[in-house]
Amino acid sequence: MNEPADRTPATDTEDGPRIKELRELAIHIATGAAEMAARMRHEGVAVAATKSSSTDVVTEADRATEQHIRELISRARPDDAILGEEGDSVSGTTGLTWVVDPIDGTVNYLYGIGSWAVSVAVVEGEPEPTSWRTLAGSVVAPRLSEVYSAGAGEGATLNGRPLRLEPHSGLSDSLVATGFGYESARRTAQGRVVAQLLGSVRDIRRMGSAALDLCAVAAGRVDAYYELGTKPWDHAAGALVAREAGAWVGGLKDDERESERMLVAANPGISKQLRAALRDAGA
């Protein structure tokens, strides 16, 4: 996950048309699914089950939206694999896997807070964040009227407008977003880390959607985001958007495998300082 964005536009390479097509499809699927999830929210929300803890809920809309996404993918690209938050993995024969989160920010969705999004990415290679290459992705937040997308080597956009980070240096005046897992012991440990980090940064934000946190880094709305233990579907599309906007995306240490444990996305001017501060804070 640590590779820097390839600034050669993919459209200039033989991979370009394929990436462009996949990006358009990701936008199409995420936009359609977001409309469906927003409509369902308007009609009322129903918790269908809980997962890792009593606060880790899955709504009827999570399930229905993921089913809709799976149908759209299977119709457009029947031979691709699918890895989704709410269902079994589907294997494929093309080497491409669609990594989908039907509603990232489920707790916000449940409470009627608008910061939730549908996240759709397509990756090449083993469907493992540390080894895959993300080709295209889209994060759509219907309540915020925001459509983010990116293609490998093609840059990132918000509502069609290119995103390009301005260099920022100085951790002490950086706004840092983070998130917490659903298990009590993990949250307690994460609380200790964030309490220590708070003294070294401008402020902390916990907005409730990893996908949107990564897009917020891309849009310069926060200077960095870090979180321990996010799932592949939480970050597949958002990490590409951040990287393509010029953010540094990786793990806590230089070892790539670490990014599976702790995901860090930051303005390149502060990535080293932030990672050092996180290590000092016991992350």
Question: Distances from the Cα of 174 to the Cαs of 95, 114, 204, in angstroms?
Answer: 39, 24, 9
Q: Closest-CB residue for ligand IPD?
A: 179
CB of 273 to ligand IPD, least distance (A): 23
Chain contacts with ligand IPD (rule: CB under 6 A): 85, 101, 104-106, 179-181, 208-210, 227, 230, 234
**Residue 119 — φ and ψ, nearest 5°?**
-125, 125
Q: Which is nearer to ligand IPD, 19 or 197 (CB)?
A: 197
Least distance from ligand IPD to the Cβ atom of residue 49, Å? 12
Rounded to 10 degrees, what is the CA torsion of 39, 45, 48, 54?
A: 130
Helix (H) or strand (E) holding 192: helix 184-197
Minimum distance from CB of 268 to ligand IPD (Å)? 23
In the complex, what is the shortest distance from the CB of residue 175 to ligand IPD, in angstroms, rounded to a whole number? 16
Closer CB to ligand IPD, residue 164 or residue 192?
Answer: 192
Given phi > 0 = left and psi -120 to 50 = alpha, else beta, which region is 211? alpha
User: Of 106 and 273, which CB lies nearer to ligand IPD in the complex structure?
Assistant: 106
By beta-carbon proximity to ligand IPD, the closer residue of 84 and 153 is 84
Measure Cα distances from 281 to 45, 182, 195, 259 in Å.
Answer: 38, 21, 9, 17
